[in-house]
Chains A and B, each alone.
Chain A
Amino acid sequence: MNLNDLLNHRSEWLKGTGPHSDIVISSRIRLARNLASAPFPHWSNKKQGRDVLDAIEQAVGKINYLKGTTIFELADLDSLDKQFLVERHLMSYGHAHKTNSKAVVIDNEEIVSLMVNEEDHIRLQVMQSGFNLFEAWNIINRIDDCLAKELSFAFSLDYGYLTACPTNTGTGMRGSVMLHLPALVIIGQIKQVLNAISKLSFTTRGLYGEGTEATGNFFQVSNQVSLGHSETEIIENINGLIRQIIEQENQARETLMSKNKSVVEDKISRSFGILKNAHIISSQETTELLSMVRLGISLGLIKEIDSSSVNELFIITQPAHLQKLENKKLSSQERDVKRAEIIRDKLNKQ
């Protein structure tokens, strides 16, 4: 697989299918694993980092589940490629910096990705469309077992999997669900919901994970605790919380439609109108307007396009995607023009 092949491919998690996909964009599980005794990536020298990478590459090559994957060493990628992978949620923002002995393994469907020498030696992630953490767990659990046969993982009977940061010790697992909660934002209840979440020791983040802000009414909810509970217990806890949030969002949508129907319809139609007609549009404005269009589709107010196309637009209108599509470096102003063009094209075609 070539990185450019991904450009015309719609990632599995953007397909807009799966349970509650009107509110839940995607479900993701990641596992942090390390090789016993080898220094963690931030503390290892060049040779040690290389040895770890070689050992993991070799293991990956032996695993049937990972047959359809491609390994990209970050030292071989330019900054545009790296940003491209971040925009597709195939690797973290932090992984793109200091590329020494780092790699990312990606499968063709973009369900599985494995970062080598990120904060831990291995960061394995599985993404699914919609509200589907258990399916993601089933897949990642099997791959993890295969890796554990080939590699000696750092593990202690009392603390579990040993990670570079003590916040990941234990299961090394983080389950994250990406939610689209426009109605809760519009009726002004989102603050209470987010406060409640943080009290339950779950965290919320923006679209691009740690350190990013919530834009376009997207919120990522993850477990904070990784030690003392089994993986399935943690997933059940997240699921319980997500179910409640889904219900609150649905109620908020009903409230909007029964009390402020024309205001909502106006806002959604105007957003759609701007997107279909604009010739210059920033990434921020795109995200906000697409968010309203997405709500319009869920409420049955917009029928010309499906949510999968909208999901995809969120990704392909990001800076690196635009530049890859255009196959050259674009200034911020040029990107705003290109972005508007792609959006007009997609939305008017249907």
Chain B
Amino acid sequence: MQVTSRRFKDSAHEALHDKDIQSAFSKVKGGFPVARAKSAGELPEFEDLRDQARDLKNHILENLDYYLEYFEDQVLLQGGRVHWCSSYAEAREVVLDICRDANAKTVTKGKSMITEEMALNEHLSAHGIEPIETDLGEYIIQLAHEHPSHIIAPALHKTKDQVTELFHENHGKYGFTERITDPQALVNEARSILRDKYVNADVGITGANFLIAETGSTVIVTNEGNGDLTQSLPKTHIAVSSIEKVVPTLEDASLFLRLLARSATGQEMSVYTTFSTGPKRMEDIDGPANFHVVLVDSGRSDLLGSDKQDLLRCLKCGACMNHCPVYQAVGGHTYGWVYPGPIGAALNPHMVGLEESRHLPNASTFCGRCEEVCPVRIPLPKIMRHWREQAFETQVTPKPERWGIGIWAFFAKRPKLYRLMTRVSARALKLMAGKKGVIRKLPLMKGWSSVRDFPAPEGTTFMDQWKKQQREGK
């Protein structure tokens, strides 16, 4: 997908003036976070589970090669195949080859962020294979030729009216000519169209929430059951997964499952948790004849051992964005690449380059809500700060900003000069304000004055007043 993170400020401006986006994203805070707080509150061991999950993920990352190879062995034993891909390009080719081997004309797809990353749909389409998204949200944005604005609610930015129009424009060819507005009727219409697609698809592609080393299983969680149909009806199932999704045992997966839905939507469990272990066996009633796992690295292994390794613990639950006031204000697309919100601000610079995405880790107040709710306790603000340090060191930070900090630090490091500077500033600002008590326009601080008045200083610094008092013996 085209990266537009460089435009962050312009995109934010547009989003802040778009009524639909504002109403869609401002609603987030009353929804998911409230549900999460409730369900976390109902589980006394929730905080302990978060610690355990963090520690277990750390252990996995320390031994990632071991668990991945273990996983591969088990997949092979079950009769499946594993493809190791170091880049998106490689992964796209592997998937395309499998689809060609299956003579695929259409493929159904479960929701998957990694295939979003590698722009798989575009690649398949370009080679004459039609991908059909089966998650309702993904289906909607596929019709609209857009990208997800939230990692678990991809069509969050779409209004009901927009969906009505989209379906009306696109569903005529299936015999649905009426313009419908009832949400349930819209869902039903999409469902009945997708039903045929499931049956006729040659290949089903899903992501994976977990890969289980001890059994060679891939696991997906959904609320619509679309993933099950995607992976069990077609002849071939391809599970595409990034490498950090592996967990040692089924027991371990259950630890993460207890956290995942609670953190994401406040559900105790997602409606469907589906395990796929190898292709259909003789005694199985259904299932794919071919089972492939495509493991994608694409820069992730570079994070191992770095100051940003913690990012690889991410479960893709979306809690950080649900709780992020910046995300709520500007929406998901503003971030300009696959991952929005705090996880995007911390991860995208690694994936698409710091120069391209330097605004992302900067556009945060470090309010800390994301870290407070992240089920695997990723220190997101700290990682964003590391990006800022890197940007400063490598001169990605624009000059005026660097100079500003330089000048300020020059004084802050010299208390005597600093006193003089603050003495003069306090007086000058007070004079500027006059009787009003505020300054409406601050020179050199347009960012402040464009939004707020500046409450005027009292006029004499604390340090000067204090010294005077001390001299006079109070």
A binds B: no
Q: Which A residues lie at the B interface, using CB under 8 A?
A: none
**Residues in B lying within 8 Å of A, measured CB to CB:** none
